[in-house]
Amino acid sequence: MKLITTTVGLNGRWLSRFNPKRMKFAKEAIVEAKKMEADILVLPAGYLFADNNDEFDRISKEMIGYAQSVGITFMFGIDREKKDIKKDWSEHVKNQSVPWFGIIWDDIKKESMVIRQRSISSNDQYLAPDSVCSEIIYITFNDQMIPILMCGEIFNERIKKTIMNYKEKIKIVIDMAHFGKGLRIWQPMSKFGNNGIASTCSTHVDKKGAVKYFFTSKGENISSDKIDKEIGWDPQIEMKLWDI
């Protein structure tokens, strides 16, 4: 299986007027990923921003339709509200109303999914209901599971425990992160690796040539700042191909 993860520049994040530019670059990345013979392309959480439900539906359908026409599994994030770290999101986690979503086109099953982020950090993970933390959101490849996490869900111990219970059936865990500055994601990724599960992520970054994180199922950190293909400018999409 060939998987492409990305680091993406910050310009235009949480600004809907940048959607056309970001969508243009995403479509170019989809085409390049297909040329690179990738099976899956992953963009970060919050790659696009929707001011209302109609805009959310429109841009998600347009991007899903494009990935479907090219013939590649594709996932990216749409936020409905800016991720303000100073805001108290506790009630959103309790009520499962966090306004950050993942959009997935599964080109094997020929179906799409819209997923909502379940918890945000290690601090609020305990507020998320057991019913959602005991669920694995995943796609499949050659009968193996590929669990999909949204950003801070990777710090949720119950979600990670649920995934680890299926480790014999899992190919790799993918996390769509919002922002990579001071990224602590290597800690839970390392834990996955030490428990026999590979993991990787895509994220926004504030510099070019940022590290693309990847931990193998043997616990090896093979993360790299190598760029296999770069798309666009302000923001740039840096693409890293992994052959798993």
The string of DSSP codes covering 152-218 is GGGG-HHHHHHHHTTGGGBS-EEEEEEE-TT--THHHHHHHHHTT--EEEEEE-SSTT--B-EE-TT
At 183 the pLDDT is 60
Q: What is the pLDDT of residue 186?
A: 83
Residue 83's pLDDT is 87
At 181 the pLDDT is 66
Which tokens in the block code for residue 16? 């809907």
Q: What is the CATH number of the domain that holds 189?
A: 3.60.110.10
Residues 6+ apart with CB under 8 A from 52: none
| Residue 62, both tokens | 């347009």
The amino acid present at 15, given as its one-letter code, is: L
Rounded CA-CA distance 127/124 in Å is: 6
CA atoms within 13 A on the CB side of 75: 32
pLDDT 10s per residue in the chain (244 long)? 999 999 999 999 999 999 999 999 999 999 999 999 999 999 999 999 999 999 999 999 999 999 999 999 999 999 999 988 789 999 999 999 999 999 999 999 999 999 999 999 999 999 999 999 999 999 999 999 999 999 999 999 999 999 999 999 999 999 999 998 656 788 899 999 999 999 999 999 999 999 999 999 999 999 999 999 999 999 999 999 999 9
Closest CA to 4 of 34, 25, 48, 24: 34
How many domains does the chain contain in total?
1
Cα dihedral 91→119→75→191 (10° resolution): 170
pLDDT computed for residue 85 by the predictor: 78
Q: What are phi and psi of 146, to 5 degrees?
A: -125, 90
pLDDT at position 70, please? 98
Q: 137: which DSSP letter?
A: P
Tell me which residue range forms the domain holding 229: 2-243
**Beta bridge partners of residue 112, listed in sequence order:** 105
Contact assessment for residue 202 and residue 42, using Cβ atoms and an 8 Å cutoff: yes
Instruction: Answer whether 39's CB lies under 8 Å from 3's CB.
Output: yes
Angle of CA points 137, 140, 141, to nearest 5°? 150
Distances (CA, A) of 59 to 23, 47, 54: 8, 11, 9
Tokens linked to 25: 């670059």
- Residue 178: count of CB within 10 angstroms of its CB: 22
> Which amino acid, one-letter code, is at 132?
V
- 3-state SS, residue 6: strand
- At residue 94, the pLDDT reads 97
